[in-house]
Amino acid sequence: MSGTKKETGFSFTIDGIEVTAYAGQTIMEAADDAGIYIPRLCDHEGLRHQGSCRVCTVKAGGRSVSACTQPAAPGQAVENETPHLNKMRRDLVEMLFHEGNHLCPICEASGNCELQAMAYRLDMTEATKFPYLEPCRALDASHPDIALDTNRCISCGRCIRASQDVDGKGVFGYVGRGIHRRVAVNGENLADTDAAVTDNAISAEVCPVGCIIRKRVGFVTPIGEREFDKGLIGHDIEEKRK
Amino acid sequence: MDNGQQAGNGVSKTACSVTPVPDGAVADICERFGNDKHRMLDILREVQDRFQCIAPATMDQIAEETGLTRIEVEGVASFYSFLSLQPKGRITIRLCDDIVDRYAGLEAVTAAFEDALGIKIGETSADGAVSLEYTPCIGMCDQAPAAMVNDIVLTNLTAQSAREVAEAIIAGKRPEDLVSDRFATLSPHDRAVRMVDNNIRHAGAVLLGPVPEDAGLSKAVSITSSQIISMIEESGLRGCGGAGFTTGRKWRFAAAERTERSFVICNADEGEPGTFKDRVLLTERPHLLIEGMTIAARAVGAKEGILYLRGEYVYLRELLEQVLEERRRRGLLGKAILGTKRFDFDIRIQMGAGAYICGEEGALISSCEGLPGEPKTRPPFPVNRGYLGYPTVVNNVETFCHAARILDQGAKWFHDIGTEGSHGTKLFSVCGDCLNPGIYELPYGHSVWELLEMVGGQDAAAVQVGGPSGAMIARDSFHRKLTFDDLATGGAIIVFNGQRNILEIVDYYMSFFVHESCGYCTPCRVGNVFLQKAIEKFRKGLANPEDIDYLKDLSGTIIETSRCGLGMTSPNPVLSTLANFPLVYSAMTQPSKDGIRATFDIQSAIDGARKIAKRRSYIFDRDFTQ
Ligand code: SF4
Ligand code: SF4
Ligand code: SF4
Ligand code: FES
More confident position, B8 or B474:
B474
* Beta strands, E only, A32-116: 57-60, 63-66, 77-79
B598 CB contacts (<8 Å, ≥6 apart)? B541, B542, B543, B544, B590, B591, B592
Asked which of B387, B416, B445 is the last residue of a domain, the reply is B416
Residues within 6 Å of ligand 3 by CB: B 357, 375, 517-521, 524-525, 562-564, 566-567
Q: HSE-up of A188 (CA within 13 Å, CB side)?
A: 9
In a domain, B15, yes or no: no
User: H helices within chain A, ranges in order?
Assistant: 5-8, 27-33, 83-99, 114-121, 158-161, 227-230, 235-238
Does B461 share its domain with B362?
Answer: no
> Smallest Cβ distance to B75: which of A64, A173, A180?
A173
> Over its length of 242 residues, how does chain A's per-residue pLDDT go in tens digits?
444 445 579 999 999 999 999 999 999 999 999 999 999 999 999 999 999 999 999 999 999 999 999 999 999 999 999 999 999 999 999 999 999 999 999 999 999 999 999 999 999 988 899 999 999 999 999 999 999 999 999 999 999 999 999 999 999 999 999 999 999 999 999 999 999 999 999 999 999 999 999 999 988 888 889 999 889 999 999 998 87
Bridge partners of A174, per DSSP, are A183
In a domain, B59, yes or no: yes
Residue B598: the pLDDT is 63
Residue B604: the pLDDT is 77
> Smallest Cβ distance to B11: which of A91, A176, A187?
A176
Q: Which domains does chain A have, with CATH numbers?
A: 9-80 (3.10.20.740), 85-235 (3.30.70.20)
Nearest residue in chain A measured CA to CA from B12: A176
Give the C-alpha separation, B342 to B337, whole Å. Answer: 8
Cα of A61 to nearest chain B Cα, Å: 14
CB of residue A157 inside a 6 A radius of ligand 2 = yes
Residue A79: the pLDDT is 98
CA torsion through residues B218, B304, B396, B41, sign: positive
Bridge partners of B171, per DSSP, are none
Angle ∠(B404,B408,B413) on CA atoms, nearest 5: 100
Question: What is the Rg, in whole angstroms, of the alpha carbon atoms belonging to chain A?
Answer: 19
Please answer yes or no on whether A177 and B523 come within 8 Å at the CB atom.
no
Does B245 share its domain with B315?
Answer: yes
> Smallest Cβ distance to A51: which of B8, B71, B377?
B377
Give the C-alpha separation, A69 to A46, whole Å. Answer: 14
Does B352 share its domain with B433?
Answer: no
In a domain, B626, yes or no: no
CATH number at residue B309: 3.40.50.11540
* Beta strands, E only, B170-216: 200-202
Average pLDDT over every residue of B73-93: 97
Backbone angles phi, psi at B492, to 5 degrees: -80, 130
DSSP character string of B230-272: HHHHHHT-B-TTSS--BHHHHHHHHHH---S--EEEEEE---S
CATH number at residue B37: 1.10.10.1590
Give the C-alpha separation, B512 to B504, whole Å. Answer: 12
Residue A7: the pLDDT is 58
Residue A2: the pLDDT is 45
Does B400 share its domain with B264?
Answer: yes
Picking from A54, A99, A115, A128 by the largest number of B CB atoms within 10 A of its own CB, the best residue to mutate is A54
In a domain, B20, yes or no: no
Give the C-alpha separation, A193 to A189, whole Å. Answer: 7
Give the C-alpha separation, B277 to B312, whole Å. Answer: 14
The rounded percent of chain B whose pLDDT value lies above 70 is 94
Does B143 share its domain with B216?
Answer: no
Bridge partners of B428, per DSSP, are B440
Residue B603: the pLDDT is 74
CB A211 within 8 A of CB A141: no
Give the C-alpha separation, B485 to B112, whole Å. Answer: 46
Burial class (CB in 10 A: 0-12, 13-18, 19+), B341: exposed
pLDDT band, very low/low/confident/very high, at B616 (cuts 50, 70, 90) = confident
User: Can you tell me whether residue B487 is helix, strand or coil?
Assistant: coil
Give the C-alpha separation, B208 to B493, whole Å. Answer: 19
Give the C-alpha separation, B365 to B384, whole Å. Answer: 13
Give the C-alpha separation, A174 to B79, whole Å. Answer: 9
Does B368 share its domain with B435?
Answer: no
Does B68 share its domain with B104?
Answer: no
Rounded to 10 degrees, the C-alpha dihedral A198/A200/A205/A209 comes to: -90
For residue B256, what are the CA distances in angstroms to B56, B229, B292, B331, B387? 45, 11, 20, 27, 16
Cα of B274 to nearest chain A Cα, Å: 22
CB pairs under 8 A between A and B: 139
Could you report the per-residue pLDDT of B583-608, keeping only the tens digit for each? Answer: 999 999 877 666 666 666 777 778 88
User: Can you tell me whether residue A235 is helix, strand or coil?
Assistant: helix
Residue B8: the pLDDT is 35
Please answer yes or no on whether B526 and A179 come within 8 Å at the CB atom.
yes
Backbone angles phi, psi at B302, to 5 degrees: -90, 145
Give the C-alpha separation, B626 to B623, whole Å. Answer: 6
Please answer yes or no on whether A172 and B71 come within 8 Å at the CB atom.
yes
Does B489 share its domain with B507?
Answer: no
Could you report the per-residue pLDDT of B144-180, keeping only the tens digit for each? Answer: 999 999 999 999 999 999 999 999 999 999 999 999 9
Residue A6: the pLDDT is 52
Asked which of B156, B185, B214 is the last residue of a domain, the reply is B185
**Host domain of residue B398:** 202-416
* Chain B interface includes A35 (CB < 8 A): no
Reference B271, options B245, B241, B233; nearest CA is B241
Average pLDDT over every residue of B472-482: 97
Res B11 pLDDT > 80: no
Give the C-alpha separation, B95 to B153, whole Å. Answer: 10
Reference B18, options B87, B76, B110, B95; nearest CA is B87
Q: Considering only CB atoms, which chain A residues are within 8 Å of B355?
A: 177
CATH number at residue B160: 3.40.30.10
CB of residue A116 inside a 6 A radius of ligand 1 = yes
CB A167 within 8 A of CB A52: no
Count each helix (H run) and each strand (E run) in chain B, helices first.
26, 16
Does B450 share its domain with B464?
Answer: yes
pLDDT band, very low/low/confident/very high, at B10 (cuts 50, 70, 90) = very low
- Other CB atoms closer than 10 Å to residue B554's CB: what's the count? 22
Give the C-alpha separation, B395 to B409, whole Å. Answer: 20
Res B623 pLDDT > 90: no
Does B66 share its domain with B168?
Answer: no
Residue B606: the pLDDT is 80
* Chain B interface includes A52 (CB < 8 A): yes
Bridge partners of B431, per DSSP, are B494
pLDDT band, very low/low/confident/very high, at B6 (cuts 50, 70, 90) = very low
CB of residue A212 inside a 6 A radius of ligand 2 = yes
Give the C-alpha separation, B626 to B622, whole Å. Answer: 9
Angle between helices B397-409 and B277-284 in degrees, nearest 10: 50
User: Can you tell me whether residue B557 is helix, strand or coil?
Assistant: helix
Does B345 share its domain with B410?
Answer: yes
For residue B205, what are the CA distances in angstroms to B37, B211, B425? 44, 9, 8
Asked which of B383, B416, B449 is the last residue of a domain, the reply is B416
From B520, B528, B558, B569, mutation site for ligand 3 pocket: most ligand atoms within 8 A of C-beta: B520
User: ipTM of this complex > 0.85?
Assistant: yes
CATH number at residue B527: 1.20.1440.230
Does B266 share its domain with B373?
Answer: yes
Backbone angles phi, psi at B396, to 5 degrees: -80, 160
Residue B102: the pLDDT is 97
Residue A222: the pLDDT is 87
Q: What is the average pLDDT score of chain B?
A: 93
* Chain B interface includes A51 (CB < 8 A): yes
Q: What is the 3-state secondary structure (H, E, C) of B80-141?
A: CCCCCCCCCCCEEEEEECCHHHHHCCHHHHHHHHHHHHCCCCCCECCCCCEEEEEECCCCCH
Res B549 pLDDT > 90: yes
Average pLDDT over every residue of B467-487: 96
Q: Considering only CB atoms, which chain A residues are within 8 Å of B74?
A: 173, 175, 184
* Chain B interface includes A81 (CB < 8 A): no
Residue B13: the pLDDT is 42
Q: HSE-up of B331 (CA within 13 Å, CB side)?
A: 8
Backbone angles phi, psi at A148, to 5 degrees: -125, 120
In a domain, B196, yes or no: no
B612 CB contacts (<8 Å, ≥6 apart)? none
- Other CB atoms closer than 10 Å to residue B335's CB: what's the count? 13
CB A28 within 8 A of CB A68: yes
Split into its structural domains, chain B has a count of 5
Please answer yes or no on whether B71 and A170 come within 8 Å at the CB atom.
yes
